[in-house]
Structure 1
Amino acid sequence: MTIAAAAEIFRHNLLPSAGGGSMPARWTNLDGRITLRTLIVIRWIAIVGQFATVAFVHFMLLFPLPIGPVLSAIGASVLLNLVAMAQHGGRMRLADRDAALYLGYDMLQLTLLLYLTGGLSNPFAILLLAPMTVGAAILSRYSVVLLTGLNLICLTILALWHFPLPWQEPVPAMAPLYAFGVWLSLSVSATFIAVYVFRVADEARRFADALAATQVALAREQRLSSLGALAAAAAHELGSPLGTIAVVAKELGRELGPDSPHAEDVGLLQSQVMRCREILAELARKPEADGGDPFERLPVTALIETAAAPHRLGHISFVLERHGKGDIPEPVVRRAPEIIHGLGNFIQNAHQFANRQVTVAVAWDERATTITVMDDGPGYAPHLLGRIGEPYLSSRADRTGHMGLGIFIAQTLLEKTGASVTYSNNRGGGARVVVRWLSVNDQVEDELWTR
């Protein structure tokens, strides 16, 4: 492993691409990921370890140390911790910049201790990787790059300038080639830790953000469905009182006669009652709860039409194909928001990339129900086919501005209903998404499907 190879890996995995402009918001929007208390506790652990090691080496092993400067460096960390605890109590959540500064100080303080006690020949020099590891797990990409650069600078300084390693007898100087090897190994380790710990932590953050977005989308669909059921129930309950008001208004109009000064008011009251009845009739046509469940059951093709309706585009034709086996009736499915939102997202995505036509084919037999969404667009990039469904992954060739979060949400929602989702490209061009539900045992009542 050479320095050039390590630098190339670091550039590809951490540095922004050239011409990318300012840092993307997702790189720096990590404020509040860690509390001050956590960093204070980590620093107290480091202080106790440093003091115990210095005391043991200097007073027990009787190795000569510049004890004054060493204790001063440790005391500076003690003072900083006490000030932080007094000002904020440790409960404050740190911004990304502040957390980077705290870890940068820890790195500089440890560098000073190593400078006073032998530099890279000190066996504890590997501890310089500790702040780097913590930073790579919690900081933004930009801060990790800066912290890694600081780490490499500290390692270089310790390799070139340092006090001799404390020892009872004269210690032969470290061979230049060996010293270079120690510096290189620590530098490469710092780079790889920065790259891989950051990527693992960033992946976890992506999935956490994507799952939160999934929950928001599902909650929205559930609220909309609940509102529809509530509207239908309200229309039913308000029908009787409005009928009574209409009868009373009609009787008042008959008793007052057309010449009464209040005849116009009574007529207005009757017209408004009729208007209310029309509104309630419209609300009553909304899906009504079935046995207390806010989601009614309907044929799978009707569910597809419902999911596709908001996403159709005038210049793109929409084709729905049905392929049932023999005399097996069309499956009936609960109007679940997970299915509507998931299928709707795939259909919307197909419309965005299609040239002329989007086709949705539904097939069923005794073993499974399969819904296939196809378009005649550019299709998925071949090198991304195995990764489609991951959050923040742009999945289409020659298109920009799509981060893949919608596909992740759709897949997550559909898999929650027991479906499997696969992605491929059509032979003649265009993308294909296959959503498949396996049939349940005939003797078991399925909450989602009725066959």
Structure 2
Amino acid sequence: MLQLIQLRWLAVSGQLLTIGVVHFGFGITLPLGTMALVLAVLVLLNLVSHFWLRRQAEVSSSALFLALTFDVAALTAQLYLSGGPTNPFISLYLLQVTLAAVLLDVRRAWVLVAITSACVLGLTLQYRPLELPSHLADDLFRLHLQGLLVCFILDAALLVVFVTRINGNLRARDANLAHMRQQAAEADHIVRMGLLASGAAHELGTPLSTVSVILGDWRRMEALRSMPDLLQEIDEMQVAVERCKAIVSGILLSAGEARGEAPVVTLANTFLRELVEDWRITRPAATVTWDSSLDRDLEIIADRALKQVLFNVLDNAYECSGLPIRLSAFQQDANLVLEVSDKGPGFAPDMLAEFGKPYRSSKGRTGGGLGLFLVVNVVRKLGGSVTARNRPEGGATVTLTLPLAALAIEGSAGHAA
């Protein structure tokens, strides 16, 4: 529709110029009042179209058909007032037909062909002849050829410019549809993985509880109390089992199977500090530091999904580099920004190009890359985004941008629903 509005402005300007040249330059008498009224209607139509387009989310094929029909009617009126079929600009109908073929569905395009054909037929039967001055009467054929040349150049230029723009819009639409289909496929992949993880969590719950009971019994056995090394290993095993049970509970909670408890509100800095401490327990050999410039009173929901997302990013940074990791948090406008930086080798160019795609991993493992794939999709569900870049001084930075509204009580409740 914007292309049609721009074309209409050009049509108004071109008609003003042509009418001025013909009437005042060549001395050919034209009904200036009536032709000016047609131009005024086109200007009014453009202004209404601009106002309507601002309030409209999308433009239907019927609206485009109606706009093209108005343009055909205006062209027919101007041609009727200026010589009808003898006017060389009658070939401008082909521009309208071409636009209809590009923009409209087949049925409406053929209807517009029928309308333009009827207009041309009507002009051959009824029109206002041009009143040529005597000094042009003998040179009418040459003037007609000059008009045809100007009309051809105008037709060709407008077709190239506007059809190229329209095709660009159509390609952008197709690319957007392909991107949406890709997101839908990834969401389906997430659902299938979630069902698998939820089923596995249910299956693991019973054996983990059994192992925990057995370890507790071993801890109380008289024969093992004299073996401090073995008791220490039993304690470590108990911690590992409890960690596995917590992961299983987190999976079930994220799957929506343990929503009975009220959402926990905490300070953002407290959430991040506890998160880093919990991650250090699972990675005792890792070195991680964190800094925050967030408001000390900033409150968020202690979302388990967000915690798991950050665990995945930290795990990926540690496994890729094994070097010190830094977590930074700050507020940017209405967003919470979290940056995880490492001093490792960084991302390969092909990894950056397909960041967050499943099964794209630099770790050389089958099924690798799912961690970052889940990170990108969970953050996207929260209304945020994830980006990655290589640092000039070495290493990489993964940036998570999350709208604070999604981490508030109302936002999290809506997300859970």
Tell me whether the two structures share a fold, i.e. TM-score over 0.5: no
Q: What TM-score bracket applies, with the shorter chain setting the length?
A: 0.3 to 0.5
The TM-score, its normalising length taken from structure 1, stands at 0.38
Higher helix share: 2
